[in-house]
Structures are given as C-alpha cells and as structure tokens.
Amino acid sequence: MSDVIIYADSFGRVSLVRSSIKKTAGDIAARVVPAGVPYWIVSESALPDQEFFDAWELDPDTLGPADGVGGAGV
C-alpha cells in the first residue's frame, strides 16, 4: 500500500490524492493541495471503508498535527 494525501477542499469535503509517479507525498502535496490548506499523509491501509467516501469528515484531533500546508503549485 502507498501513502495518500488527505485534506478538506473549500467546501469542507474530504479530498484524497494518490500518486503513481515516483515523488514523495510531500512533494506532490506542495503542488496539488491549495495554498494555506493543511494536509495529512496517511497509509492507504489506514483509510476507512471507501464505500461511504461522501460521508467522510476530517477530524484533526484524531489525525494529529498536519503534515504540512499546501503550497499552490510551488
């Protein structure tokens, strides 16, 4: 399993980013997560059942400190 970048979009919906390119999750997040938006990098195996993806909510208390903040295509 690989790492997945998760963040909340401007509407509060959970967004997932998976990559098939050979870059670190942090490098990818700096390009795809909107500027100023915190993101977390988690193992794909730690994600809940994706059948109910639309009902997911981010809980920073459970996730802990963000792994970074988006950089708007840096």
In a domain, 38, yes or no: yes
In a domain, 74, yes or no: no
In a domain, 46, yes or no: yes
Contact by Cβ (8 Å): 62, 25: no
Which DSSP string corresponds to 7-27? EE-TTS-EEEE---SSS-HHH
* pLDDT value of residue 45: 79
**Domain tally for the chain?**
1
What is the extent of the structural domain holding 14?
3-69
> Which percentage of the chain shows pLDDT scores above 70?
84
The C-alpha R_g of the chain, in whole angstroms, comes to: 12
In a domain, 57, yes or no: yes
CA distances (Å), 60 to each of 16, 19, 20, 22, 74, in order? 15, 23, 26, 28, 25
Backbone φ and ψ for 42, nearest 5 degrees, come out as -130, 160
In a domain, 8, yes or no: yes
Query: Residue 53: which pLDDT band, with cuts at 50, 70 and 90?
Result: low
Least confident range from 2-6, 25-29, 49-53, 68-72: namely: 49-53
Query: Residue 3: which pLDDT band, with cuts at 50, 70 and 90?
Result: confident
Task: Output the average pLDDT for the chain.
Answer: 81
In a domain, 49, yes or no: yes
